[in-house]
Structure 1
Amino acid sequence: MSYYVAHRLFAAHDRALAAQLAHHLARKLGEDHVFLPFCDTDEENLVADVKGRRLFELDRDRLRRIRALIAIVHGPSPDDGVCMEIGYAAARGVPVILLTTDFQDYSTAPDGPRTDFPDPLLDALATRTVRLPRLSATTEPSGTSRFADFARRNQAQARQAIDACVDATLQLPAPAADTPAPSPSSNTVYTEPSPYVPPHHPLSVLTRNPHVTTISQTRFEAPDPLTAARRDWTAALASARILVDASGPETPPGAALLIGAACAIGRPAAAYLSRSSYTHAAGREPNCRNLMIQYGVDAILRSTEEVTTWIGR
Structure 2
Amino acid sequence: MSIYIAHRLFAAHDRALAAALAGRLAAKVGAERIFLPFCDTDEEDLVAEVKGRRLFELDRDRLGRLDAMAALVHGPSLDDGVCMEIGYAAATGIPVLLLTTDFQVYSLTEAGPRLDFPDPLLQAVATRVIRVPRLGPPPSSHQQGATRYADFLSRNLAQVDTALDTAVETLLQLPPPGWTSSTAHDQDELVYVEGSPYAAAGDDYLVRPCLDAGHRVVLPRRFTATDPVTGALDDLHAACRASRLLADVSGPETPPGTALLIGAALATGVRIAAAHLRPSYTHATGREPNWRNLMIQYAVHAHLDDTEAVQAWLAM
Q: TM-score range by the shorter chain?
A: over 0.9
Deviation per residue, 1:198-242 (Å, 9 max, x gap): 304431224532621100011112221111111111111111110
Provide the TM-score with structure 2 as the length reference.
0.96
Total equivalences in the alignment: 312
Aligned to 2:308: 305
Aligned to 1:53: 53
CA separation of 1:175 and 1:120: change in aligned 2, threshold 3 A? closer
Q: What secondary structure does 2:290 align onto?
A: coil
Tell me the amino acid that sits aligned with residue 211 of structure 1: G
Aligned to 1:28: 28
Provide the TM-score with structure 1 as the length reference.
0.97
Tell me the amino acid that sits aligned with residue 206 of structure 2: L
2:273–2:303: 8 Å Cα contact kept in structure 1? yes
Q: Distance in 1 between matches of 2:143 and 2:27?
A: 29
Aligned residues with identical type, % of pairs? 58
Q: Distance in 1 between matches of 2:174 and 2:122?
A: 19
Deviation above 3 Å: which 4+ runs of structure 1?
Answer: none
1:192 is aligned, of 176, 191, 194, to 194
Deviation per residue, 1:81-140 (Å, 9 max, x gap): 000000000010100000000011111111111110000000000000000001011123
Q: What secondary structure does 2:106 align onto?
A: coil
1:201–1:304: 8 Å Cα contact kept in structure 2? no
Q: What secondary structure does 1:151 align onto?
A: helix
1:124–1:226: 8 Å Cα contact kept in structure 2? yes
Q: What secondary structure does 2:67 align onto?
A: strand
1:227 is aligned, of 226, 230, 240, to 230
2:195–2:247: 8 Å Cα contact kept in structure 1? yes
Aligned to 2:149: 147
Tell me the amino acid that sits aligned with residue 89 of structure 1: A
1:142–1:149: 8 Å Cα contact kept in structure 2? no
Deviation per residue, 1:120-167 (Å, 9 max, x gap): 000000000000001011123344110011011101100100000001
Which runs of no fewer than 5 residues in structure 1 stay unpaired?
A: none
1:63–1:89: 8 Å Cα contact kept in structure 2? yes
Q: Distance in 2 between matches of 1:180 and 1:225?
A: 19
Q: Distance in 2 between matches of 1:115 and 1:192?
A: 21
Q: Distance in 2 between matches of 1:174 and 1:214?
A: 35
Aligned to 2:267: 264
Tell me the amino acid that sits aligned with residue 56 of structure 2: F
1:96–1:126: 8 Å Cα contact kept in structure 2? yes
Q: What secondary structure does 1:278 align onto?
A: coil
Aligned to 2:291: 288
